[in-house]
Amino acid sequence: MKKAVLLILFVLIAFFAVVFSTFYGVDSVLSPTQKDPVEKTKLTFMNSWGGYDTKAGVLDQILGQFEKDNPNVAVTNESLSGDDFLPALKEKFATGDQPDVFGLWPGSDIRSLINAGKVADLTQLLDSDPQWKNSFKSGMWDQVTQNGHIYGLPVEIIAEGLFINKDLFEKYNVKIPQNYDDLVAAVKTFRQHDIIPIAFNCMPEGSYLFQNIAMSLGGKSVENPIVNGNVVKSYIDAMYVMRDLFKMGAFPDNDECFFIDSNTRDDLFIDKKAAMIAQGSWFIANCNSASVDFIPFPRMSAQSDDSLVYGLGCGTFYISEKAWDDPAKRAEAIKLLKCITSSNSSVQLAEQTGMISNVNIDSSKIPYNILTQKGINMISSAKTLVGPPDSYITRSVWENIIVKDFPDMLSGAVSPEVLWQRAIAAGADEE
């Protein structure tokens, strides 16, 4: 009897040993696949559509859908908003940690990166895919072409002008400014009622006011700012206009305009503490079209025509040369670039943020709000379209001398002439 029990126990032990070893063996074969999946291609993306920017949420949607459609790719979004973006992007390129796909408006910075060989030439890629190339409107290719080669893809059109809180204008019976005299009258009336006339700060984004004044005074001449070693007169005159506005109390009190950040400046207008702000079409998504209007910038002199600052925004996209030269990344970076510049993405951005698209989409089907439609009408009706003045001057000089010295210029500690002498000496003329 004991022998039979022992035999049965031996058989059971052997049986379970076989079962255990069999399953253990299967697990040892399957576990590498289960525990060590194929590594994803990692891409980084960066532009100014981050943080509090109105396009940040839509960008997240686009990148999220791209990852779903391409499960073998993981995208890290490093976008930053406002004045934080450009210094961070430049530092990444300087340290060799540049994003694989990025957005940047036309200007000295992208030209410098192209000249340094850090931006991929997309000419042959576009020529090999005429359907993709023809999906863009043709009028902006010159903005992304250098030495006959195309480096960027132009998606976002921008226009600058004056935003006004029209409910404040109605409340205090102020005429909407069409010229400098109207602007001065509006400033004086709003100041009498303790309303900040113009939301302005001494930061790169705050300089939109200065740029529009210079554009109105000089027209197309601001696109060639340094002639024979001297700055064109409209840039000097615009600073004197800025100083006059400062003296009459056009800007935030107690010299707040010297130090507040750009988000705070925008909020002054959005919260109805300021009556006006010089901004671009990208700002529309922040505004309530029932109480805000978007108008051409007032004519600053009797000689000013109906000019408009117009160009491409940070929705101008590139591939870094570092990503292009990486066999594991190039194909995926191209896919990401095609996704961001697709008509589907442009429709999303147009519908949700009011972006004016340079991609061929059916604008008649886009439910643009009244402010975006006004921006589109301003572009079509302007007599002269002028590129953003800060794109024609070395950006580091614009930020670190011109804008940085605005407080001294406004307060009279330094003259506009001396300020521009410093800027020119520091290399304001990148050519």
| 317 within 8 A of 153, measured Cβ to Cβ | yes
Contact 228, 257 (CB under 8 A): no
Q: Is the pLDDT of residue 22 over 50?
A: no
Contacts of 51 (CB under 8 A, 6+ apart): 79, 80, 81, 82, 84
pLDDT at 32 over 60: no
* 240 lies in the same domain as 355: no
Q: Per the domain annotation, does 14 fall within a domain?
A: no
Instruction: State how far the alpha carbon of 126 is from the alpha carbons of 24, 53, 129, 153, in Å.
Output: 53, 30, 5, 10
5 band by pLDDT with thresholds 50, 70 and 90: very low
Structural domain includes residue 13: no
Same domain for 112 and 251, yes or no, is: no
Q: Does residue 47 sit in the same domain as residue 143?
A: yes
> pLDDT category, 254, cuts 50, 70, 90?
confident
pLDDT for the residue numbered 287: 93
DSSP state at residue 166:
H
At residue 365, the pLDDT reads 86
Q: Quickly list DSSP for 88-137.
A: HHHHHHHTT---SEEE--SSHHHHHHHHTT-B---HHHHHT-HHHHTTB-
Whether residue 20 is predicted with pLDDT greater than 70 in this model: the reply is no
- Tell me: do 180 and 275 sit in the same domain: yes
Shared domain for 176 and 219, answered yes or no, is yes
Strand order in the sheet with 101-103: 73-77, 41-46, 101-103, 316-319, 153-154
**In which band, very low, low, confident or very high, does the pLDDT at 431 lie, cut at 50, 70 and 90?**
low
Res 35 pLDDT > 60: no
Half-sphere exposure of residue 28: CA atoms within 13 angstroms, side-chain side: 6
Give residue 39's pLDDT. 87
Q: What DSSP character marks residue 260?
A: -
Q: Is 352 part of a structural domain of the chain? A: yes
Averaged pLDDT of the chain: 91
For residues 248-259, average pLDDT: 95
In a domain, 270, yes or no: yes
Tell me the residue ranges of DSSP E strands in 273-424: 274-280, 292-295, 307-312, 316-319, 356-357, 384-386
Quick check: 3 pLDDT over 90?
no
pLDDT band at 57 (very low <50, low <70, confident <90, very high): very high
Residue 363: pLDDT band with limits 50, 70, 90:
confident
Alpha helical stretches, state H, 195-308: 208-218, 233-247, 262-270
Count of alpha carbons within 13 angstroms of residue 221, beta-carbon side: 17
227 domain-assigned: yes
Assign residue 334 the CATH number of its domain. 3.40.190.10
The predicted pLDDT at position 18 comes to 45
Q: Which of 137, 156, 103, 143 is nearest to 285 (CA)?
A: 156
Instruction: Name the band, by pLDDT with cuts 50, 70 and 90, for residue 37.
Output: low
Host domain of residue 279: 159-310+377-425
For the stretch 133-175, pLDDT in tens is 999 999 999 999 999 999 999 999 999 999 999 999 999 999 9
Nearest-angstrom CA–CA distance, 402 and 424: 10
Residue 36 has pLDDT above 70, yes or no: no
Digit-coded pLDDT (tens) for 222-233: 999 999 999 999
Residue 21 pLDDT exceeds 70:
no
Please tell me whether residues 358 and 218 are part of one structural domain: no
User: From CA 221, how far away is CA 233, in angstroms rounded?
Assistant: 9
Same domain, 178 and 66: no
Residues 322 and 354 in one domain: yes
Sorted by sequence, the CB contacts under 8 Å of residue 281 that are 6+ apart come out as 157, 158, 159, 160, 294, 354, 355, 356, 372, 375
What's residue 1's pLDDT? 45
Mean pLDDT of 227-253: 97
| 272 burial via Cβ count (<10 Å: 0-12, 13-18, 19+) | middle
Does the pLDDT at position 238 exceed 80? yes
How many domains would you assign to the chain? 2
Q: What is the pLDDT of residue 364?
A: 78
Of the candidates 273, 210, 231, the one whose C-alpha atom is nearest the C-alpha of residue 407 is 210
Query: Would residue 358 count as lying in a domain?
Result: yes
Q: Name every residue whose Cβ is closer than 8 Å to that of residue 275 and which is 6 or more positions away in sequence.
A: 164, 165, 168, 169, 174, 186, 190, 195, 196, 197, 198
Let me know whether 166 and 273 are in one domain: yes
pLDDT band at residue 33 under the 50/70/90 scheme? very low
Query: What burial letters (b/e) apply to 352-362, b meaning 16+ CB within 10 Å?
Result: ebbbbbbbebe
Does the structure show a pLDDT above 90 at 234?
Answer: yes
Sequence-distant (6+) residues with CB within 8 A of 413 are: 407
Nearest Cα to 168, choosing from 200, 197, 209, 206? Answer: 197
pLDDT of residue 198: 98
48 found inside a domain:
yes
φ, ψ of residue 77 in degrees (nearest 5): -90, 110
Q: How far apart are the first and last CA of the chain?
A: 105
Contact (Cβ atoms closer than 8 angstroms) between residue 309 and residue 160: yes
Tell me whether residue 286 is in a domain: yes
Closest CA to 211 of 317, 303, 309, 97: 309
Q: Are residues 227 and 216 in the same domain?
A: yes
Structure tokens at 86: 């450009």
Please check whether residue 382 is in contact with residue 307, taking contact to mean a CB–CB distance below 8 angstroms: yes
**Statement to judge: residues 258 and 406 lie in one domain:** yes
Residues 186 and 269 in one domain: yes
Backbone φ and ψ of 385, nearest 5°: -100, 125
Residue range 79-100, pLDDT digits in tens? 999 889 999 999 999 999 999 9
Contact 143, 388 (CB under 8 A): no
Q: pLDDT tens digits for 106-143?
A: 999 999 999 999 999 999 999 999 999 999 999 999 99
Cα gap 125→333, rounded to integer Å:
12
Question: Which of 321, 344, 365 delimits the end of a domain?
Answer: 365
Q: For residue 321, give the nearest of 50, 72, 117 by alpha carbon.
A: 117
